[in-house]
A and B are shown apart, each in its own frame.
Chain A
Amino acid sequence: MHVVKNKTQDQVEVAKGGLLDRRRFLLSGATFLSVAGVSQIASQSHAKDFSKFPDHMLTPGFPSEDYGVPSEYENHVKRLPEEVYGSAIITAAFTPLDQLNGIITPAGLHFSVHHNGIPDIAPENHQFMIHGLVENALKWSVEDLLNYPMVSRFHFLECSGNSAPNIISDKPLDWTCGHIHGQISGSLWTGVPLKYLLDEAGIKPNGEWAMCEGADSANHVRNIPLKKLYDDAIIAFYQNGERIRPDQGYPMRLFCPGYEGNMSVKWLHRIEISDIPSQSKDEQSLYMDVTSDGRIRQYSYTMEVKSVITKPSGKQGLPESGLYEISGFAWSGRGKVNKVEVSADGGKTWANAHLEGPVMDKCMTRFTIPWQWDGKETVLVSRATDEFGNVQPTRADWVSRFARFSHGHNNSINSWHISPEGKVSNIYV
């Protein structure tokens, strides 16, 4: 590999610490170095003999499977166990963000959080009901709804507790990006717009709220304003083209774009239209926030603008000084990402990263920027702004608004420390 250790005239620094102008950099013909995961460094010692045809060119391969699975050489890419809570309260699996790329998460690696486990629901044992303040209380079978007109939309889904370790822990935990921030995933969700079904039932004039209930063992409930359901909510049947999986709500789930994950009620079976919210268990406890002056902030739905660098990120390594591509993604529960700024000097100077299109509403947007690492200690930071001008706050700003134990809706700025040896680790700036 041709390693560029010194900047050429085409490599124009756009912020201190070695952040480069992308267009001029691309013209320079310089070559990126590879960020290494911990296991990859170890495997580099096995030198291969490429002087002969390898076995896979000398024998025919195997046929396709009925349902394909990833290469056996990618077996290390797995969802991560939840390690913060460590109690009987919830079960969870996090997305290994640092092992993936693009903006779509494979369904089997989508994060998953459950309050009462994953129910096993045969479609014929499931029905969906709308009643309460409606002209006609109605029910549908799964098959009925599969025949309804559907829409497909790319959206992120993020748990309100995502990135909680960076709030809870006074000292930054030396974890991977997936372990800290892996309660966000992206998919193409396909289903029936709620408004068709609400109009079919006919909402009475005093109907303002929808009590949305799942068919799991403790019937998870969230109360959602009808304005949201009419705006952009769907009942999702498909994720990335295939029927949603049991841990995503099979046979059907609510999907509320941009709202905290648990509002997209899985295994949705009942909506009761009401004039007031029912104040469900999770609206009293897990999914309320406690303000710094001790008040209970309920019904805070939106996952605000946020970004995270996935490469390089925690527990990865930079083998030597030179050129790297910094890559990450940004999102906003209010709409589109407008701008992602990156700093390579701990937040003193910033440069705009390149946003890889399409930039979509309430969807992850991949960003990249070339970076010339000089081999010295530094800190990489990203900061996103959405189309409405909402900007990520600093961790200190965020923490000042809430009680010390309140950790939902953390959208504060994330940073990675780079040691002179090239070790990447979590840090607060």
Chain B
Amino acid sequence: MFNLKRISTLASIILLCIPMTTSAEEIKTSGGTAMEQSEIDKWSITIYPDGRNLPDGSGTAKIGKPLYEDQCVDCHGVDGDKGIAPRLVGQMGYQEWNPHPLLALTVAAWPNTTTIFDYIRRGMPHHSPKTLSDSDVYALTAYILHLNNLIGENDVLDRETLKEIEMPYKDKSFSAWDLEEGGEIRGKPLNSQ
């Protein structure tokens, strides 16, 4: 039925012998293979809002501008606006030049700077992701923040400085999981009870 080498004997006995009413909680498995630390490090590309996992390297908006014009401008538009891809600058809301609901959104309203670095590094440019160096990613992140008047063109972004920059919408963001659900699996949202 199951690969017995991969599943513990206890689980197999429970699965094969106990009637259907037995709680599934008693199943224990042991088929995973231990990961080496070097392997974990290789795959750990996710950046957290406290700066966790940010790599070495650095960049400024001044360095980022030519990179942007070479790699990003075709989709995101000159100065991060009026492209076919999401807007990088400006206020949220419908745009007169294209009242497209997704273009109502803007990176300027993202609550966290670390997410900009994270997403450029994992997913950009769209046609060839994961080809930019970490310093290139810092420089492009700096260029987007500079376009939004949040940093100067020579301000250096690195693993220490990036997380210190406050996005305008940080204070306006909240977690519905915490505030509306109380951090629990619920039948009704808290505010409706």
* Interface set of A (CB-CB < 8 Å, partner B): 84-90, 116, 129-131, 136-140, 144-145, 147-149, 151, 164, 168, 193, 195-197, 199-201, 211, 213, 217-219, 221, 225, 227-228, 231, 270, 272, 274, 276, 278-281, 283-286, 288-290, 294-302, 334-335, 387-390, 403-405, 407
With A218-B129, A296-B174 known, 8 other A-B pairs at CB within 8 A are A131-B35, A136-B32, A147-B2, A196-B27, A199-B29, A285-B109, A296-B172, A301-B176
Given contacts A197-B32, A217-B129, A295-B172, contact A149 B27 (CB under 8 A): yes
Partner of A295 from B124, B129, B173 at Cβ < 8 Å: B173
Q: Decide: B15 and A278 in contact? CB cutoff 8 A.
A: no
**CA of A278 to CA of B104, assembled, Å:** 24
- A196, closest chain B residue (CB): B29
- A281, closest chain B residue (CB): B119
Given contacts A84-B101, A219-B122, contact A139 B188 (CB under 8 A): no
**Which residues from B are CB-within-8-Å of A227?**
183-185
Q: Decide: A87 and B100 in contact? CB cutoff 8 A.
A: yes
Given contacts A116-B126, A225-B177, A298-B175, contact A276 B48 (CB under 8 A): yes
**Which residues from A are CB-within-8-Å of B92?**
290, 294, 403, 405
**CA of A211 to CA of B46, assembled, Å:** 8
**CA of A132 to CA of B44, assembled, Å:** 9
**CA of A251 to CA of B181, assembled, Å:** 33
For residue B55, give the distance in angstroms from its CB to the closest CB of chain A: 15
Q: Decide: A140 and B31 in contact? CB cutoff 8 A.
A: yes
Q: Decide: B187 and A387 in contact? CB cutoff 8 A.
A: yes
Q: Decide: A139 and B32 in contact? CB cutoff 8 A.
A: yes
**Which residues from A are CB-within-8-Å of B39?**
139
Q: Decide: A284 and B188 in contact? CB cutoff 8 A.
A: no
Given contacts A149-B2, A193-B24, A219-B123, contact A297 B176 (CB under 8 A): yes
Given contacts A290-B92, A296-B169, A296-B172, contact A131 B112 (CB under 8 A): no
Partner of A279 from B2, B31, B35, B114 at Cβ < 8 Å: B114
Q: Decide: A197 and B29 in contact? CB cutoff 8 A.
A: yes
5 contacts between A and B (CB under 8 A): A89-B102, A131-B40, A145-B31, A149-B29, A334-B187
- A276, closest chain B residue (CB): B48
**CA of A285 to CA of B173, assembled, Å:** 11
For residue A397, give the distance in angstroms from its CB to the closest CB of chain B: 12
| Chain B 152-193 interface 0/1 with A at a Cβ cutoff of 8 Å (1 = within) | 000000000000000001001111111011011111100010
Q: Decide: A89 and B85 in contact? CB cutoff 8 A.
A: yes
B21 interface contact, C-beta 8 A: no
**Which residues from A are CB-within-8-Å of B15?**
149
**CA of A296 to CA of B106, assembled, Å:** 12
B30 interface contact, C-beta 8 A: yes
**CA of A387 to CA of B31, assembled, Å:** 38
Q: Decide: B174 and A140 in contact? CB cutoff 8 A.
A: no
Partner of A85 from B44, B102, B122, B174 at Cβ < 8 Å: B102
**CA of A339 to CA of B110, assembled, Å:** 39
For residue B190, give the distance in angstroms from its CB to the closest CB of chain A: 12
| Stretch in B3-11, B64-72, B137-145 with 4+ CB within 8 Å of A | B3-11
Q: Decide: A228 and B185 in contact? CB cutoff 8 A.
A: yes
Q: Decide: A274 and B48 in contact? CB cutoff 8 A.
A: yes
For residue B31, give the distance in angstroms from its CB to the closest CB of chain A: 5
For residue B26, give the distance in angstroms from its CB to the closest CB of chain A: 11
Q: Decide: B192 and A297 in contact? CB cutoff 8 A.
A: no
**CA of A280 to CA of B117, assembled, Å:** 10
Partner of A285 from B31, B43, B105, B175 at Cβ < 8 Å: B105
